[in-house]
Structure 1
């Protein structure tokens, strides 16, 4: 009893002592808090520690979890999806503004995570038992943007099959090649995308007689998968996740265009789909209350991985448009209550040049993310549409890593990589920019030791990403399925020491004094003229800054001129609808010339200029520059086009046959 009394007394004394100590400490902290906060703010302003900690804290938790999932052979995205169903079952997963017969009108379809999961299991039953889809097979999807794309995709993942996302615009030999290279067993075809497949069907069946072409009757299929009484199929874990499966094997296949004209099948690994997309979604502040709108085709990695996978990894909702429409964009964003939108740079320009929409200020969007948004319209885009944050990123379909920025306010406009000091230091071991050969910007520079060097601040160089196991590069960079030559061409060896290996981005990037990185050009977009390197992007930006509202789009490429070294600058201009009267207006061109003389070096000013009704784009809204690099002068391929040239380096004038003869003979100086 005495001992217990003494113990209680000592405990009371200890509590009193702690309170007495805490009181002055609390008062001191209250008094010093303005100075502490000021110190932290000063530290953050210089080193951006808050943003770095936001990223690092997630990374430190997510990566060990992912490593444990690899150890357990549960690293496939399917298991992450199941966790979100259990956690956010009643939250929206999909929102689709289905177009109605009346133009410009939509009916919004919504699916919760639980509804999506149940539909996927019912569809899995149909695929497994009616169509004979089995685990381990590669199955192609030839589908437009609609909920059934997602249903098919995740049903294949449930079964343990590998989805192959066909570009539904592909036809003929490229289509046959796409199916063949992936060893596709069957193809599921959207009625809206069936044209190219039907056109190519004789060639497919002749070369690939065992491939099943499944033309889906959507009304019949929807009746089954939407019926709660229909049977479900959940694959056995041992079949979906065999012990032989690795996290760098294909989660899905996405096609990129090749230099030969035939598509290349880029491998999207489970590692990229899970940990890469999860981190990306977190950095872009996607939560289970976010709705991310995309009008990008789902068969590309931007919408599929950085859209669907990134959003689902955080329990958010994907809102998809069947196709991009500048006039309907903001209405669909408004109807789906989106908080984020995806873009490529050209989409942003289309939206800026479109008529004002009643919905462009009614929406809930706070963040726009994508790649290719140019610095000249960056702030204008934010201000017109009331967007707080731009999440510009750098990535390519086959690249093992991506860079991101989360740009607020006025700092970091135009950057594609923007982190603080700590994250930059860590990434310096993984990503770098190397110097290019002064005489050939498509070749990296090698010093007397045969090694590369890091590009100085402000000097464009090729971005490289480290391959951590040089003898087994596929563990970091999976490359292209069935195309060893193309895969090896993207690996650069003996970079900073003998035996190391790095992935080549093929793009020129430059850094600034704050450690921010900026996209400069694709290496093929930079051309050499007058012994100088000309940045096509820089010239395009300056032309647009002069005529932002007059021009809808501009393309600058280098043209090969007979009997001349290098490539001469060629600017292709597309006028906005309200300025079509300026087409082929020499006065307008020379006003532009006077502006460019004050904003560009002499060698970078375009030698040739042409007008077009519409600049050619890929199905992913990117400009087809290759066709313009092969432009036929002086009158075009059919002899009915008009071009202008910088005569005597003084003024733009119409390019005639006699002018062209003088140019190629050397009588007229460029």
Structure 2
């Protein structure tokens, strides 16, 4: 019976193979070439494969995140904890510690388990010795190093909110940064303590409740590296209280803006967890990835799109103490990095360096960041053997980001590149609207008082939809303690009465393929030396020094050939009684000396010009656009006298010889 049954089964299988399977295989062979060719053409046109890659992750990651919100475990601490449990022995932080001999490094590496235990020991120190508690806002004034991340995650473990100070800040901007965030304590890295020390008297006088702690790395390491040191793990109900929401602050990051002084942008848990997770996935960060960053950790690029994006995927972040063009590729090689982060300025600096043996030895395949200009995009890829450029558009406070994952020749220079399907979906949430041709800081409104989408190729302001207009903080958290600045970033009645959109403050344009390109910044903020500069802040400081001598001042950013961003340009209109100071070097350098006390180096005006009267429009607005388009070195007519911040660290008249040296790279601005 068994043999007969087996015989029947065998005959049945043979029949199936002969009558069904073999014909199907033959048909597939016949049709493979035309179907494959058809699908490749379809994919090339609509980029279906790229959209599918993103969509499948999004459709699984979002439900998981919603479940974590429901459970009350949406904080990034739990993302980190999951990696400790699953990938405890995998590398988490890599650090090429600089040695005294320039260009030499000692490698340090910490696994997820190492990092977790160090964080718990540091948490005990912060909790019991320094009195840090849940819900406290605690500022970190730290250079790039593992200790920054240890401190940051120890605060998250305790349930405190870390506030990342820009260690270049000094004086009034620094004091304001501490005050606006209601900081309880500031932990200061001795390596970058000058700004705090210089401002300490003012902090103690105006903010006597704020504790300043100067910490020596060596002393702290002695405790936290000792396996016998006590550990502290915060109770879940204190770290994650039941009344918590995922749009509350995970951390605070400072950004410049048109209000003059720094603003404390709220980085929500939603952005830190689900946003960074999706970003890390799009940038193909995996468990065996190492992402090298020389960006300052106090900025969102390195903190969120670096550390958080990497940790969300179980990868390793390699942190450089500071950017060095000469040793950049050596550090990437030593850390075995697969990805690097950049801003456009860095790429140009690297292209200007002599050829290094390490630029051909590294294993970096993906470079991601923002601000890489199209004119050097392919040159950068080709020289350094980079397969993919992951250009993105984002700002510190923006609720969303755009991305591209560019290979080959298609999409060079774009900051948003998706297929037809995702573009269609995102059209509900992201748009570019027309701006007033006479005033690009103002959106254009039609006869109905509504905005219109900018035509293909026309620069317009990028907007991002706020889905709950009556509760905008659920989408856009804005700036802590600055309701006016937060409101100014929300544009209402855009396409219909009652809707609300986040204003990016930046000009972008689209092309016929649905790609988006960054054009320029709007308003009173510009970027120089990889930092955002508030024009209003610089104007305020100039007037604070010379209100009796200067009747009016305009500060804008101007383009300089072969330089990324825009250099600060101050236009001074002297008061009638001070006209004799026009071109006075003693006056200009006294102003410079005063500005150095209140502004970081990157915010100092690089160029200065005196005018009889600052130009205004008919409605009394300053014609900033004309000053942004200043022709260097001597104006459109070739007869203007400008002054520049020379390498001797003083203002001097800008000569043709100076301009030739600036353009050739012989002198650096």
Contact 1:374 1:414 in 2 (8 A): yes
Distance 1:309 1:37 in 2: 39
Task: State the shift of 1:149 in Å.
Answer: 0.3
Task: State the shift of 1:621 in Å.
Answer: 12
Q: Counterpart of 2:119?
A: 120
Write the deviation string for residues 560-617 of structure 1: whole angstroms up to 9, x where unpaired.
798xxxxxxxxxxxxxxxxxxxxxxxxxxxxxxxxxxxxxxxxxxxxxxxxxxxxx99
Q: Which stretch shifts more, 200-209 or 424-433?
A: 200-209
Per the alignment, do residues 231 and 359 of structure 1 end up closer, same or farther by CA in structure 2, a change over 3 Å counting?
same
Q: Counterpart of 1:423?
A: 422
Distance 2:270 2:642 in 1: 57
> Matches of residues 103-502 of structure 1 in structure 2 within 5 Å?
103-502=102-501
Per the alignment, do residues 6 and 434 of structure 1 end up closer, same or farther by CA in structure 2, a change over 3 Å counting?
farther
Give the CA RMSD over aligned residues: 3.0
The ranges of structure 1 where at least 4 consecutive aligned residues each deviate by more than 2 angstroms after the TM superposition are 4-20, 258-261, 524-527, 551-562, 620-624, 626-634, 652-657
Contact 1:418 1:516 in 2 (8 A): yes
Per the alignment, do residues 644 and 30 of structure 1 end up closer, same or farther by CA in structure 2, a change over 3 Å counting?
same
Task: State the shift of 1:646 in Å.
Answer: 3.2
Q: Counterpart of 1:89?
A: 88
Write the deviation string for residues 537-580 of structure 1: whole angstroms up to 9, x where unpaired.
9x95xx84xxxxxx566847898798xxxxxxxxxxxxxxxxxx
Contact 2:608 2:642 in 1 (8 A): no
SS in 1 for 2:35: helix
Distance 1:133 1:387 in 2: 44
Q: Counterpart of 2:73?
A: 74
Contact 2:257 2:524 in 1 (8 A): no
Task: State the shift of 1:31 in Å.
Answer: 2.5
| TM-score relative to the length of structure 1 | 0.81
SS in 2 for 1:242: coil
Distance 2:242 2:399 in 1: 24
Contact 1:431 1:464 in 2 (8 A): yes
Distance 1:156 1:365 in 2: 32
Write the deviation string for residues 401-445 of structure 1: whole angstroms up to 9, x where unpaired.
000011101110100000110110010001000111232221111
Per the alignment, do residues 287 and 383 of structure 1 end up closer, same or farther by CA in structure 2, a change over 3 Å counting?
same
Identify the structure with bigger relative contact order (alpha carbons < 8 Å, sequence gap 6+).
Answer: 2
Contact 1:367 1:389 in 2 (8 A): yes
Contact 1:353 1:552 in 2 (8 A): no
Task: State the shift of 1:490 in Å.
Answer: 0.1
Give unpaired runs (5+ residues) of structure 2: 527-555, 574-594, 613-631, 644-669
Q: Counterpart of 2:648?
A: none
Distance 1:622 1:340 in 2: 30
Per the alignment, do residues 182 and 14 of structure 1 end up closer, same or farther by CA in structure 2, a change over 3 Å counting?
farther
Q: Counterpart of 2:661?
A: none
SS in 2 for 1:400: coil
Distance 2:459 2:601 in 1: 22
Distance 2:641 2:270 in 1: 54
Q: Counterpart of 1:663?
A: none
Task: State the shift of 1:400 in Å.
Answer: 0.2
Contact 1:127 1:133 in 2 (8 A): yes
SS in 2 for 1:266: strand
Distance 1:654 1:450 in 2: 42
Write the deviation string for residues 212-243 of structure 1: whole angstroms up to 9, x where unpaired.
11111322210111111211111111111111
Contact 1:350 1:552 in 2 (8 A): no
> Matches of residues 556-595 of structure 1 in structure 2 within 5 Å?
none
Distance 2:240 2:234 in 1: 10
Distance 1:428 1:643 in 2: 43
Task: State the shift of 1:22 in Å.
Answer: 2.2
Per the alignment, do residues 57 and 14 of structure 1 end up closer, same or farther by CA in structure 2, a change over 3 Å counting?
farther
Q: Counterpart of 1:627?
A: 605
| TM-score relative to the length of structure 2 | 0.81
SS in 1 for 2:131: coil
SS in 2 for 1:397: coil
Per the alignment, do residues 553 and 44 of structure 1 end up closer, same or farther by CA in structure 2, a change over 3 Å counting?
closer
Write the deviation string for residues 79-129 of structure 1: whole angstroms up to 9, x where unpaired.
011111112111111110101111111001011111111111111111111
Per the alignment, do residues 656 and 182 of structure 1 end up closer, same or farther by CA in structure 2, a change over 3 Å counting?
closer
Contact 1:346 1:621 in 2 (8 A): no
Per the alignment, do residues 514 and 99 of structure 1 end up closer, same or farther by CA in structure 2, a change over 3 Å counting?
same
Contact 2:414 2:518 in 1 (8 A): yes
SS in 2 for 1:422: helix
Per the alignment, do residues 210 and 25 of structure 1 end up closer, same or farther by CA in structure 2, a change over 3 Å counting?
same
Per the alignment, do residues 355 and 479 of structure 1 end up closer, same or farther by CA in structure 2, a change over 3 Å counting?
same
Write the deviation string for residues 196-226 of structure 1: whole angstroms up to 9, x where unpaired.
2122222212222222111113222101111
Contact 2:257 2:525 in 1 (8 A): no
Contact 1:401 1:465 in 2 (8 A): yes
> Matches of residues 509-658 of structure 1 in structure 2 within 5 Å?
509-524=508-523, 540=559, 544=561, 551=562, 555=566, 624=603, 627=605, 631-632=609-610, 643-647=633-637, 652=638, 655=641
Give unpaired runs (5+ residues) of structure 1: 528-535, 545-550, 563-615, 635-641, 658-670
Write the deviation string for residues 329-371 of structure 1: whole angstroms up to 9, x where unpaired.
1111111111111111111111111222221111111111111
2:32 counterpart of 1:33: yes
Distance 2:600 2:377 in 1: 18
Task: State the shift of 1:260 in Å.
Answer: 3.7
Task: State the shift of 1:623 in Å.
Answer: 6.7
Q: Give aligned pairs, total.
A: 574
Distance 1:297 1:349 in 2: 18
SS in 2 for 1:644: coil
Task: State the shift of 1:521 in Å.
Answer: 0.8
Task: State the shift of 1:258 in Å.
Answer: 3.2
Task: State the shift of 1:645 in Å.
Answer: 3.1
Q: Counterpart of 1:101?
A: 100
Per the alignment, do residues 21 and 262 of structure 1 end up closer, same or farther by CA in structure 2, a change over 3 Å counting?
same
